[in-house]
Amino acid sequence: MTNDEYVIQCEGVQKKYALYKKRSDQLLENLMPGKKSYHTDFFALNGITFNVKKGECVGIIGKNGSGKSTLLKILTGVLTPSSGTAIINGRVAALLELGAGFNPEYTGYENIYLNGTIMGYSREEMEQRIPEIISFADIGDFINQPVKIYSSGMFVRLAFAVAISVDPDVLIIDEALAVGDVFFQLKCYKKFEDFKKQGKTILFVSHDQSSIIKYCDRAILLNEGNLICDTTTKEAIDCYKELLVNASAENVDMNCSEPAAISTVSWKSNYRLNEKTLEYGDKTAEIVDFGVFDANGKITSTYFRNEEYEIRMKVVFREPADSPIFAITFKDFMGLEIAGTNTMQENIETGTFRPGETATVSFRARFPFQNQPFFLSFGCTKFNQLGDLEVMHRLYDVLCVQTVGSKVTNGFFDMDAKVKIKRT
């Protein structure tokens, strides 16, 4: 395939910065060039190579600080690479971090004309686009006010409306849509679909993995300035979630397919836990560890809708317990319980535990949840001799779980409906 068939060509792109411990070190180095180095090199990007064909929608994913924004700034000409080449064939419209390309002292109207000029349009040409821009942005009379008083939501509305109005060949979006409300995001993603149908090329950076799966043809994973993989969206996200786990606990056993194969590194150390976890109980038994594992037995923090996962909890008993009840519960942000079960409801006889014994309990189930975050809770209780329920230990809302999937329906769950239409 010839280079002419690519809209974006990125070859060996490197961006290097000199880091100094103190400002005077930079002055000394400048005064005595070649004598002594007072800096260390930091590579924000380290030899990035990829190509994008016309009409492709490519997602770029990675942790904060992985080089995503730096790459987009190089592609749009905001930054110059230290080495390598980055070429875009066609008109580019970019929505980078909030504030890029806008004068805060100008009104919304004036910034529309300013951006049009930057894109090479005359004032008369932009006047023809004004009604469409104002309608899409939908910020009312604020269009006549300086953008410095705009909320982040109003700002991104106007910026996106301007970006799509100039009929670009390539649309580049960097996280900015995350600040818009859900209805505006739907409008934006509808535009994504329209652009794809028109054969436009889209480069999209987002932490919203559901959007990456739904709208992108493939995804590029960056980490610490390096290109880790360039593959299908699902494979890239699988690679990303494994990278996240390894980053938080390098020695964790990633192949523990059975509960007995437990790493010495705790499962819960792989997650960012809820600081406002509700914890209570007499701790005659204590939930000391927990985690969620995929079908391959790998601990994971990314969950694909309707795929099967195993929720594990590890409980250490401090006192004897007869027929303890182990429970899991999913709740939304309002505290509404949307799903859950326990060993008693599942008719599982748990037996008797002596002091010092550990129970590793597994619940295997599919995750049918919608693309929204839910809280996972764990509990260990028992009935005493009087028949009263005693709470040994509960961890409520300790872990945030969010599924990703290409389909969005109503409510909490994906009904996985099968639809047929018969024409008569």
The reported pTM is 0.63
11-38 burial by CB neighbour count: b if 16+ within 10 A, else e? bebbbeeeeeeeeebeeebeeeeeeeeb
Confidence category of residue 353, pLDDT binned at 50, 70, 90 = very high
Q: Which of 135-149, 172-186, 273-287 has the lowest mean pLDDT?
A: 172-186
Residues 297/368, Cβ–Cβ less than 8 Å: no
Pairing, β 83-88 against β 337-342:
unpaired
Residues 49/10, Cβ–Cβ less than 8 Å: yes
Confidence category of residue 3, pLDDT binned at 50, 70, 90 = low
Confidence category of residue 19, pLDDT binned at 50, 70, 90 = confident
Q: How many Å apart are CA 39 and CA 260, to the nearest integer? A: 49
* Structural domain boundaries in the chain: 3-241, 252-404
Express each pLDDT in 288-346 by its tens digit: 999 999 998 999 888 888 899 999 999 999 999 999 999 999 988 767 788 999 999 99
| Topology of the domain comprising 252-404 | Coagulation Factor XIII; Chain A, domain 1 (2.70.50)
In sequence order, which residues have a C-beta less than 8 Å from that of residue 151 and are 6 or more positions away? none
Residues 137/150, Cβ–Cβ less than 8 Å: no
Closest CA to 326 of 307, 345, 310: 345
Q: How many Å apart are CA 198 and CA 332, to the nearest integer? A: 39
Whole-number pLDDT of residue 301: 84
Specify the length of the chain in residues.
424
* Choices 2.130.10.10, 3.30.70.100, 3.90.330.10, 3.40.50.300: CATH for 3-241: 3.40.50.300
Whole-number pLDDT of residue 147: 87
User: Mean pLDDT of all residues in the chain?
Assistant: 84
